[in-house]
Amino acid sequence: MAQVSINRDLGEWGLSTDSGERARLLQSPSVDIAPKSEGEAPPGGAGGGTTSTLGAIFIVVNACLGAGLLNFPAAFSTAGGVAAGITLQMAMLVFIISGLVILAYCSQASNERTYQEVVWAVCGKLTGVLCEVAIATYTFGTCIAFLIIIGDQQDKIIAVMAKEPEGPGGSPWYTDRKFTISLTAFLFILPLSIPREIGFQKYASFLSVVGTWYVTAIIIIKYIWPDKEMTPADILNRPASWIAVFNAMPTICFGFQCHVSSVPVFNSMRRPEVKTWGGVVTAAMVIALAVYMGTGICGFLTFGAAVDPDVLLSYPSEDVAVAVARAFIILSVLTSYPILHFCGRAVIEGLWLRYQGMPLEEDVGRERRRRVLQTLVWFLLTLLLALFIPDIGKVISVIGGLAACFIFVFPGLCLIQAKLSEMEEVKPASWWAMVSYGVLLVTLGAFIFGQTTANAIFVDLLA
């Protein structure tokens, strides 16, 4: 593979030339990568990581699957039925996989090991800063969604345990949604979010995988052997309009977004080669597609157009098997929030140090005070917003638009810049095809992000 001459002028922001230090600060906590030193061979060389091909597939699947699973039945309803939902997912999967491959190609060309470092190196400082801001905003919004999910599932569980009807009337104060979310957040999430390192991610990964597969199994089983009181509403057979199909895209983007953590996974492989990586992400995305499709189809056909944006809320509170699924989701979210906060906090820390022109190696006391302050502000803001934005569908729509930027826009910009940096005098047809494809990715991602933002501003706010 030809090495690409890229923009590596990072001194304009007073940035340290040791990108390995920045990578260790900003890397995904899901992967253990060896530090990069000066003069180290590119990732495609012999100095790879320790992750096997099967291990990489598992990590990518784990990064892809998560709480977004709960919204796929509603996405099928929004898209206009099973046929439209399947067609939309299959079409988007091609672009999703290609984006992952493009990121690996640019990581190898730039010798960078994290998503934001690749964008910084290939596209320059302005796009790099925008990428870091987008990552911080995305992780912040996802943390809000996680708190809303906790509240949704706790409402159903408490209704059964307290043996009282769901809803605001007649419930004691200690079963109030705002109180239970706040209590859970202060007791569990805040203590897990303050530490500098997060060594518990292996347990979070295990809980996430088990919970995801269990939820999928329950939804499929409940469709095959439905309870008597569960009768589906109207089953849509066609989309109401093309706009309705596009409105389902943010949910799909949120579900399949694993691109930010994909670059560290690629560089953690024993032999990080683009061809091998293509097979890894294809296998991982096919597995994720099967899970999402099974959940989406069966959940939609069980409840029809009346399916809730969080499909577990559509099931009766008294169902024991579904209650176990709710408990799994709560445990998974409780441990996933600190990991996402860690990623967002690391990006904010990097932006702050770069703006201040301070080195990453500073006294521990200043770092601890800043970390505690950042964590408290992040935690309180996400908690307050989650208490007053109870609709998970709106939050997923907004952060799904940002996920489209990570899947389409930034990989497309990287591909365009990488190809434009090649110095051949006569451009072959493949060169023009790659540039055109990059433009297509950027256009598609910008369209999804723009539509989502317009809906949030002109539909939700005006309503």
Across 30-34, 188-192, 355-359, the highest mean pLDDT is recorded for: 188-192
Q: Which domains does the chain have, with CATH numbers?
A: 50-162+172-391 (1.20.1730.10)
| Contact (Cβ atoms closer than 8 angstroms) between residue 326 and residue 312 | yes
Answer whether residue 298 shows pLDDT above 90: yes
pLDDT per residue as tens digits for the range 379-421: 999 999 999 887 777 788 889 999 999 999 999 999 999 888 8
pLDDT of residue 14: 38
**Is the model more confident about 38 or about 270?**
270
Q: Residue for token digits 């597939």?
A: 57
Give the residue-averaged pLDDT of 278-287. Answer: 95
| Terminal Cα-to-Cα distance of the chain (whole angstroms) | 53
User: Whole-angstrom Cα distance, residue 213 to residue 257?
Assistant: 18
pLDDT for 419 equals 86
What pLDDT is stored for residue 5 in this prediction? 38
Q: In degrees rounded to 5, what are phi and psi of residue 69?
A: -55, -35
pLDDT digits (tens, 9 = 90+) for 4-41: 434 444 443 333 333 333 333 344 433 444 445 444 44
Structure tokens at 365: 């006391």
Q: For position 174, what pLDDT does the model report? A: 79
Output the pLDDT for position 423: 58
Count CB atoms within 10 A of the CB of residue 343: 23
pLDDT tens profile 229-245: 777 777 877 777 777 78
Specify the residue for token string 């095809």.
433
Rounded mean pLDDT of 372-380?
Answer: 94
pLDDT of amino acid 15: 37
Selection from 219, 255, 247 nearest residue 78 by Cα: 247
Q: What pLDDT sits at residue 254?
A: 92
CA–CA distance, 179 with 161 (Å, rounded to integer): 16
- Which pLDDT value is given to residue 370? 87
- Please tell me whether residue 295 adopts helix, strand or coil conformation: helix
Q: Give the tens place of pLDDT for each residue, 60-109.
A: 988 888 878 999 999 999 998 899 999 999 999 999 999 999 999 999 99
Q: Is 136 helix (H, G, I), strand (E, B) or coil?
A: helix
Q: Helices 249-256 and 429-454, interaxial angle, to 10°?
A: 110
Taking the CB of residue 188, how many other CB atoms lie within 10 A of it? 17
Average model confidence (pLDDT) across the chain: 81
Higher pLDDT, 198 or 383: 383
